[in-house]
Amino acid sequence: MSVQLSRGEAWDLLTEWVQSESLRRHCLAVEASMRAYARRGGEDEELWGVVGLLHDMDYERHPDLDTGHPRVALAELEGRDIDPVVVRAIASHADFLGVSRDSQLEKTLYAVDELSGFILACAYVRPEGIHGLTPKSVKKKLKQPSFAAAVNRDEVRAGAEELGVDFDEHVAFVIAALEDRADELGLHGRDADSAPASAG
């Protein structure tokens, strides 16, 4: 029997490996999107959430994509005998490892990863935060290469295509998932207390 991590155990593991507030927030955002899609599809919300939380757990310690992330995370999780479904999903979000995305879980992780990060970036520059953010304005920002330049636009598009969802609906769905957790993610905008709630 492999090990099923609870949400609390996954969070403890993430915060042991990741000190950066912004990387923790990214992982929380991906978790929120994964849980929302799991709920919608009648899938295992806890499992999908754990995959979202842990998909970048080794990125702070091992950012080198040629030798590090996500290989170190995969080895760590395998060493702990974590559910292979979790390990394979995390492997499949890194294009360069060549692990195919077969399941809905794997396709969803890829589809929400870069997009969740991008939507956080959009919300942080708006006075209203995430409130009232539309797919139209997200798409406009996607067309500005200098905005959140680290986000791979091709991956954002390809992710939605692989998942087989309408792009606008997908963006609206992820916005709603993140807005649900606006307190924790610090997405209420500049009018509100702008300091994001402590993730720990």
Contact 103, 37 (CB under 8 A): no
CA distance 183 to 194: 10
∠ Cα 15 85 68 (to 5°): 50
| Residue with smaller CB distance to Fe ion, 5 or 189 | 5
Nearest to 88 by CA among 73, 80, 115: 73
CA distance 192 to 127: 9
Local structure of 3: helix, strand or coil: strand
Q: Least distance from C-beta 81 to Fe ion, angstroms?
A: 24
Q: Which stretch binds Fe ion (CB under 5 A): 12-20, 75-83, 106-114, 118-126?
A: 106-114
Q: Which stretch binds Fe ion (CB under 5 A): 53-61, 124-132, 133-141, 155-163?
A: 53-61
Contact 124, 26 (CB under 8 A): no
Site for Fe ion (CB under 5 A): which residue of 28, 31, 56, 74?
56
Site for Fe ion (CB under 5 A): which residue of 58, 106, 113, 179?
113
Q: Which stretch binds Fe ion (CB under 5 A): 113-121, 158-166, 176-184, 192-200?
A: 113-121
Q: Which stretch binds Fe ion (CB under 5 A): 107-115, 141-149, 155-163, 167-175?
A: 107-115
| Residue with smaller CB distance to Fe ion, 52 or 129 | 52
Local structure of 82: helix, strand or coil: strand
Q: Least distance from C-beta 89 to Fe ion, angstroms?
A: 12
Which residues make Cβ contacts (< 8 Å) with residue 73, sequence separation at least 6?
Answer: 54, 55, 56, 57, 58, 90
Q: Least distance from C-beta 127 to Fe ion, angstroms?
A: 27
> Should residue 31 be labelled a site residue for Fe ion when binding is judged by CB under 5 A?
no
Chain contacts with Fe ion (rule: CB under 5 A)? 56, 113
